[in-house]
Amino acid sequence: MSIEKNQRNLKLLVISLSISIAVIFAILLFTIDENTILSLRRIKPQFLLLALLLQVSTWFLWGIRISTMAKMISSEHRLSIRESMSIVIANLFLAAITPSMAGGEPVRIHLLSKKGLSGGCATAITLGERVFDAIFILVMVPFALFIFQYMISIREIRMGLIIGIILFISAVSLFFYMVARPEVAKKFLLKIFKKTKKEGFIERIEGFVDEFHRGSKLIFKRRNIRGIVAVSILTILSWFVGFLIPSCILVGLGHDPVILQSIAAQILLLVVIMMPTTPGSSGVAELGASALYGSFVNTSILGIFIVLWRFITYYVNIIVSAIFQYKVLRSLLKK
């Protein structure tokens, strides 16, 4: 089974990288000119390093958020920042090569369970993170639409945003419905797995849903207002730190940072990227970024900008997570 999973992951990685590289090559083909060479000669590496440090900072803030949410559920199972960071880094690889970054969720649930949390509570934390992210993005969408209102006249972009927003709202609504109606969730899961005849399976499903319900209520209960505020602040900080990465890259390339437009572009990109399309949204992210940033970034550096942005926010995730998992696996084999 492990070999099959590795083969499937390798296949997803190859597909994801192939699409991404092909699209980036096409963008470079249409944007490189004599001014591109001049921009590369005047490049400021310190700002590219700052962009990389901002990316690492998003992992750190993500780790603090997981640790905070675990504390909200159970004071007995406290996660250190180091443990939470290891969970974040370990999940980056599968998140990067699966549609909607969905592959990272099972990894985080599994690793949280290994830290002593029940499967239901681990699932509540992981899906709860998605809820906080979705609420933040939905709140920011009107701002992004206001900045890019002239772009919404393009039918494909308008339809993509509408579908993305609908999916966001549906996912958040489904989460809260499952929290409010655990019996419905039990019936739904039992219907899906009705052919499974393993001993004690039904009891495990019911126990899982009960723990999920309990964990979700602990996260979002009124008495936990301090925790909710703390997680909300961490969510906002994490996303805004990530939103500054493109502006750092632009400054590094000798361009104005155009911070507001860049943040708006990142928000609209998130809505599109979250839709289940290609593995890791490869191709979709690059084309979406070129369409949005092409409206306010000089064409001569647009392709180079896309390469650097995708490398720092996507390829670095794959590389670091793959190295981390390899080291963990090697240490386990030695033991």
Q: Tell me: the pLDDT tens digits for 212-262?
A: 676 667 677 666 788 889 999 999 999 999 999 999 999 999 898 889 999
pLDDT at 96: 85
Distance from C-alpha of 212 to C-alpha of 107, rounded to nearest angstrom: 17
Task: Classify residue 297 by its DSSP letter.
Answer: S
The per-residue DSSP string of 20-75 comes to HHHHHHHHHHHH--HHHHHHHHT--HHHHHHHHHHHHHHHHHHHHHHHHHHHHH-S
User: At residue 232, what are phi and psi to the nearest 5 degrees?
Assistant: -65, -45
Contact (Cβ atoms closer than 8 angstroms) between residue 299 and residue 31: yes
Mean pLDDT, each 10-residue run in order, the chain (335 residues): 65 86 91 86 92 96 93 77 91 82 80 83 84 86 80 62 72 71 72 62 67 69 79 95 95 91 90 73 85 88 93 93 81 60
